[in-house]
Amino acid sequence: MQRTANIRRPESIDELLDSRLIAKVSHLDLASRKIFAGKLRGERRSKKRGESVEFADHRPYALGDDIRHIDWNIYARLDRLFLKLFLEEEDLSLHIVLDASASTDCGEPNKYLFMQRVAMTLGYIGLVNYNRVFATIMGGSPREGEAPPDEPPLRVIRNLRGRRRTHDLARFLCSIEPAGPSDFRTHARRIALSRTGRGVMVVLSDFLMKEGYEDALRLLAGRGYDLFCIQVLSPQEVEPDIRGDLRLTDIEDADTAEVTISAPLLKRYRQILSAYTEHLRTFCARREITLLSVQSNTPIETLVLDYFRKRGLLR
Amino acid sequence: MTWLTPALAGVVAALTIPALILLYFLKLRRRPVEISSTLLWKKAVQDLQANAPFQRLRRNILLLLQLLALIAMVLALAQPQRNDLATVDDRHVILIDRSASMSAKGADGRTRLERAKEDALAIVDAMREGDFFSRNLADQRPQEAMVIAFDTTAEVLSTFTSDKARLRSAIRSIRPSHAPASLDAAMKLARAHAPVRRITDTFVDESGNPRSRQIESLRAGVGTIHILSDGRLADAQRVLAGVEDTLRYHPAGDPNEVNLGIATLRGERAYDDPDRLSIFVAVESNAPNPRSIDIEMQIADAVRVYPLTVPARANDAQSTDASQGASVPAPPSTASTLIELTMPEGALVEFRLSGEAMRDDSLAIDNRAWLVIPPARHTSVALVTAGNPFLSDWLATLGFDRFEVLAPDDARTVLDEPFDVVILDRTNPFDDAQIPPGRYLMLGVLPPEGVSSTGTAPNAQFLDWSREHPVTRDLTLEAVQIVDMPRLTVDADAGVRTLASTNAGPGILEWTAPELRAISVAFDPLSSTWPFDVSFPVFIAGAIADLSDDDEAGALAQLHPGQILDDRIPRTAGDVQIIAPDDRGAPTRAAQRLTPAPDGRIVFGPLDRVGVYKLRWKGPAGAGDVPDADRVARYYACNLLDPLESDITPAPELAIASDVVRASARERRQVVRRYWPWLVLAALAILMLEWWVYNRKVHI
């Protein structure tokens, strides 16, 4: 709940992804409910017919079709115009959205560090499997010594593909440290507008947003992504360990609340937290968004190897 | 309800209550904590506030409770106390009668003294108490009390103090006595403790400067005097209460209590036959019905019983003393009997009242009485005369066991033998200062000391004589004419006192010296008309009887409780001990040592128990003393024999000289209650409640 004391920011991929975990996750691949199931390395058959080497079907020519796709051999034989239809070859894109608002820089263990690791793990899996990997960090500020990225506050890295790019992804994830508000809605609109491909989008956040998460999620869900939301809460947020007469200051907007911690208040807090999470869950379920609520002390292995597979993010 | 320290509490309240309210208006200093989001907390707090009833009240309930606790503590500081309204004076004197009649047992088996002590404890309980703080802070001083127990004498058991524990222990320490009561002594003692009033006098001295000085004035009032008694106080009429004093009479005892007691007991040997003994016993009863009782007389181991019927007390209708307005209970009835015995030897006789009719007798002290009977005394008389046939012949007819007429020259040698009485008839065979111990009747001979003669009067007549002295009380001396009356001046300090005086000075003298007693006729009877008067033989016989009886005066005379045993024993006696009786008249085990004065005088007392006191010593025995192992013993009987104490009907009111004090109604005394501990407890309880509320509530 409180700002993590003595946080050590990760510097390189080794601190985000240890080799033991690499060994365990290297056989995993991303899955999407919206994509055909199939075991093709590096590429996927799309439901959509389009331009590819793999023939799918013919259909009669209709006015306005691209004449480049007319099957001239059929025309020669049958004297009728048919279009050749191919299965479009689409590579799956993985878009990782990371909330770097100041509120994520809290908890023991640190929520942001946890989210960085999850993002790195997923990104690694995506890269290794030749998926197109995008990463967006909402909010935050560049770390000292890092070159200022293109257009703050939206920091994006695009079109990573292949194992070689893992270091690029890691460097990107390490370059930003949490600060300020996330402004989820603005970021969501930009992501939605700069459509870069269909695929899986993973939003990592604590979803504790005063302005609300609903509009943003609506924008993201509407763009055809297979959307996964991972709500990361620190154990201290679930079971507050603060006592006494306190003036609580919001780390993001300096809003204050004076409380005297008492048993009924804690009870009430827990009720409200669970109601909040439940509301998020209901909201996501209605829009086919998969929600996963985890605490920042959950081992990454368990999360990746167990939770994600059960929820269909990985296979 | 009074407040002992309201000023202090007011000051504290004026300081603390505004301070508390001020503190309450100061904001609670909260620890700042940075958290990830206040979103959920704000919601929780809002929800909780919306849910809690009495929001407005809850916000202030802590202040309210703290104020309540503070007020309770401030009230405790003021020390509220409930006081008895009946006791307003700052000083109280508690006079507790412990006399014989206070030992009367009521129907519940408790004595009047026990009940009086309870009343006294109730008075003490009702006293206003002091406070923690110094007198300067306290607005009301604690009440003080003094405890005096009295019978014949009065004793201060506790001087003025507000220490209730001390007063209670003083009251509880009072033991019943068998002595009759004297309110006068107690009142005098109480008034002696009245504070002296000091007056500051401002005056101008010689040099014109104003000065002031303190003058001790008369004693102020002593306060409220509580008399806890049954009202059987013989000298109440002599008691004068102070103007500023309030007298309260708390009667003890039930008017229906019945007592039969020996009121009079007297034993006498016949003058002409000392072997014949007559004992007169009178029994007094305040019972409303006639009672037939037995008088048991025990001599050694033999018991004789004499039945006696005591009539009922006169009708209950109370006679009224018109002058005082005091109603006096009817006097008790009496019955008496005369017991005649022939008993030459000495004896210790015990009398007891017994029988069925004594069953509801309340007072046991007067049911027993003792009489010490000395052996029959046979008087020996010597007449030293140069020749007086008239006197010697007449004395010879009086039937003394031994009568000798001695010439003055023989007297010096012969008188070494003990004669009871030696009559010196106009001659003194001894050197003036060396009259040997004994009893003397001196006719025309002056005591060698304490008297000085300044010539003679030619003619004299008796003017006055003592009506109390046994020798002169029965005489009629007006007719006696005296020729050649010596003019005398008497020195009372030398042991000489005048029994009869003439117009020329003392006529008959009594001279007392160690182991010597003499009655002296200052003039020569033969130069007066006295020998021809009938009063002369009466005087001679009476004087001889008185002088010869003198030896046994201590033995036959009865002592009463409250009196002092004062007697002479032989000068050479050593290891003198006295054994006092216990509460039931039986001798106590422990003997008390007495140290006699050089002239053999012993003093013991005041006697507080009825019974037989046994005095014993090693050495020679006096007349009437009995051997007791290797010692000599002398017995003294101490009997109540007080009709006033035996009449135990309690007096409903106390008539003293200045006033009639009616019995205080048996009011329920309010025990002093201090409320501050309860207030402190309440404050504690409120604080605990406040703590609980504080922990329950959420406060923004």
Spans of all domains in chain A: 15-35+91-311, 45-90
What is the mean predicted confidence (pLDDT) over B146-167? Answer: 90
Tell whether B435 and B368 lie within a shared domain.
no
- Clarify whether residues B181 and B329 are in a common domain: no
Last residue of a domain, one of B498, B517, B547: B547
pLDDT for B326 equals 46
In terms of domains, do B319 and B460 share one?
no
> Which residues of B, range 45-74, sit inside 8 Å of A by Cβ?
45, 47-48
B321: pLDDT confidence band, cut at 50, 70 and 90? very low
Residue A177 at interface with chain B, using a CB cutoff of 8 Å = no
Residue B345 half-sphere exposure, CB side, CA atoms within 13 Å? 6
User: Could you tell me if residue B614 is inside a domain?
Assistant: no
What per-residue confidence (pLDDT) applies to A229? 93
**Which parts of chain A register pLDDT below 70?**
33-56, 86-91, 144-154, 195-198
Nearest Cβ partner for B33 among A210, A234, A249: A249
- Considering CB atoms only, which of B33, B48, B695 is closest to A2? B33
CATH code for the structural domain at A15-35+91-311: 3.40.50.410
Q: Looking at the predicted structure, is the pLDDT value of residue B591 above 80? A: yes
Indicate whether B410 and B537 sit together in one domain: yes
The reported pLDDT for the residue numbered B415 is 66
At residue B156 the predicted structure's pLDDT band, cuts being 50, 70 and 90, is very high
pLDDT at B696 over 90: no
Task: Encode pLDDT of B649-667 as tens digits.
Answer: 888 888 888 778 877 765 5
CATH number at residue B453: 3.40.50.880
How many domains, in total, are found in chain B? 4
- Range name among B73-82, B368-377, B537-546, B554-563 with the lowest pLDDT average: B554-563
Angstrom distance (rounded) from CA A73 to CA B234: 163
Cβ-defined contact of A257 to B38 (cutoff 8 Å): yes
Predicted pLDDT of residue B28: 66
Q: Choosing among B33, B34, B37, which should be mutated to test the A contact, i.e. which has the most A CBs within 10 A? A: B37
The average pLDDT across B486-502 equals: 86
Q: What is the mean pLDDT of residues B624-631?
A: 80
Minimal CA–CA distance to B561: which of B481, B678, B641, B661?
A: B641
The per-residue pLDDT for range B428-456, each reduced to its tens digit, is 887 655 788 888 899 988 888 888 888 88
Q: Is it the case that residue B597 has pLDDT exceeding 80?
A: yes
Band the pLDDT of B322: cuts 50, 70, 90.
Answer: very low
Per DSSP bridges, beta strands B611-618 and B144-150 are unpaired
What is the Cα–Cα distance from B400 to B75, expressed in whole angstroms?
A: 91
B472 and B388 inside one domain: yes
Q: Which two tokens stand for residue B208?
A: 């014109």
Digit-coded pLDDT (tens) for B97-117: 998 889 888 888 889 999 999
* Residue at B577 is within a domain: no
More confident position, A33 or B679: B679
Q: Note whether B348 and B400 are same-domain residues.
A: no
Instruction: Look at A174-183, A202-211, B542-551, B567-576 and tell me which has the smallest mean pLDDT.
Output: B542-551
- Domain identity same for B273 and B362: yes
Burial class (CB in 10 A: 0-12, 13-18, 19+), B47: middle
* B643: preceding bond cis by omega (within 30 degrees): no
Q: How far apart are CA B155 and CA B189, in angstroms?
A: 8
Q: What is the DSSP string of B639-661?
A: ----HHHH--PPPSEEE-SS-EE
Q: How far apart are CA A97 and CA A225, in angstroms?
A: 12
Please say if the pLDDT value at position B148 is more than 90: yes
Tell me the residues of chain B between 641 and 700 that have a Cβ less than 8 Å away from chain A: 695-700
Residues 267-306 of A with CB under 8 A from B: 268-269, 271-273, 276
Same domain (yes/no): B422, B521: yes
The residue in chain A having the minimum alpha-carbon distance to the alpha carbon of residue B36 is A103
The residues that bridge with B295 in the sheet, in sequence order, are B306, B353
3 state SS of B249: strand
What are the residues whose beta carbons fall under 8 Å from the beta carbon of A63, sequence distance 6 or more?
none
For residue A38, the model assigns a pLDDT of: 38
Selected residue of B38, B43, B46 to mutate for chain A interface (largest A Cβ count, 10 A): B38
Q: Does the CA dihedral A17-A22-A26-A32 come out positive or negative?
A: negative
Domain assignment of residue B570, yes or no: no
Residue B680 within a domain = yes
User: Does B198 lie in the same domain as B130?
Assistant: yes
Give the tens place of pLDDT for each residue, B237-281.
Answer: 888 777 778 888 888 888 888 889 998 888 888 777 778 888 999
pLDDT grade for B698, boundaries at 50, 70 and 90: low
Tens of pLDDT, residues B195-204: 777 777 788 8
Q: Could you tell me the pLDDT band of residue B40, with boundaries at 50, 70 and 90? A: confident
Backbone angles phi, psi at B588, to 5 degrees: -80, 160
Establish if B3 belongs to a structural domain: yes
- Is the same domain home to B251 and B347? no
Mean pLDDT over B123-133 rounds to: 73
Q: How far is B697 from chain A (nearest CA, A)?
A: 7
The verdict on B686 and B659 lying in the same domain is: no
Give me the CATH number covering residue B151.
Answer: 3.40.50.410
Strands B653-655 and B660-662: antiparallel
pLDDT tier, B138 (very low <50, low <70, confident <90, very high otherwise): very low
Residues of B in contact with A258 (CB under 8 A): 30, 700
The predicted pLDDT at position A41 comes to 39
pLDDT (tens digit per residue) in B208-245: 888 887 777 666 778 888 888 888 888 888 887 777 78
Interface ipTM: 0.79
**How many other C-beta atoms are found inside a 10 Å radius of the C-beta of residue B230?**
26
Better pLDDT: B289 or B324: B289
Residue ranges making up the domain that contains B3: 1-28+58-83+672-700
Q: What is the pLDDT, as a whole number, of residue A39? A: 35
A208/B37 touch (CB, cutoff 8 Å), yes or no: yes
Instruction: Kindly state the tokens that stand for B352.
Output: 């007891």
Question: Shortest Cα distance from B73 to chain A (angstroms)?
Answer: 28
Specify if B625 maps to a domain.
no
- What would the pLDDT profile of A272-315 be if each residue is shown by its tens digit? 999 999 999 999 999 889 999 999 999 998 988 888 888 888 87
Local confidence band at B167 (pLDDT 50, 70, 90 cut-offs): very high
What does the pLDDT average to over B510-516?
82
Contacts of B34 in chain A (CB under 8 A): 2-3, 248-249, 251
Can you give the pLDDT at residue B57? 58
Residues B388 and B373 in one domain: no
Q: Which residues of B295-325 are buried (b: 16+ CB within 10 A; e: fewer)?
A: bbbbbeeeeeeeebebeebeeeeeeeeeeee
Listed residue (B500, B544, B548) closest to B523, CA to CA: B500
Q: Is A1 on the interface with B (CB under 8 A)?
A: yes
In three state form, how does the secondary structure of chain A look? CEECCCCCCCCCHHHHCCHHHHHHHCCCCECCCCCCCCCCCCCEEEEEEEEEEEEEEEEECCCCCCHHHECHHHHHHHCCCEEEEEEEEECCEEEEEEECCHHHCECCCCHHHHHHHHHHHHHHHHHHCCCEEEEEEECCEECCCCCCCCCCCCEEEEEECCHHHHHHHHHHHHHEECCCCCCHHHHHHHHHHCCCCCEEEEEEECCCCCCCCHHHHHHHHCCCCEEEEEEEECHHHHCCCCCCEEEEEECCCCCEEEEECCHHHHHHHHHHHHHHHHHHHHHHHHCCCEEEEEECCCCHHHHHHHHHHHHCCEC
Q: What is the pLDDT of residue B686?
A: 92
Q: How far is B63 from chain A (nearest CA, A)?
A: 17
Is B26 an 8 Å CB contact of chain A? no
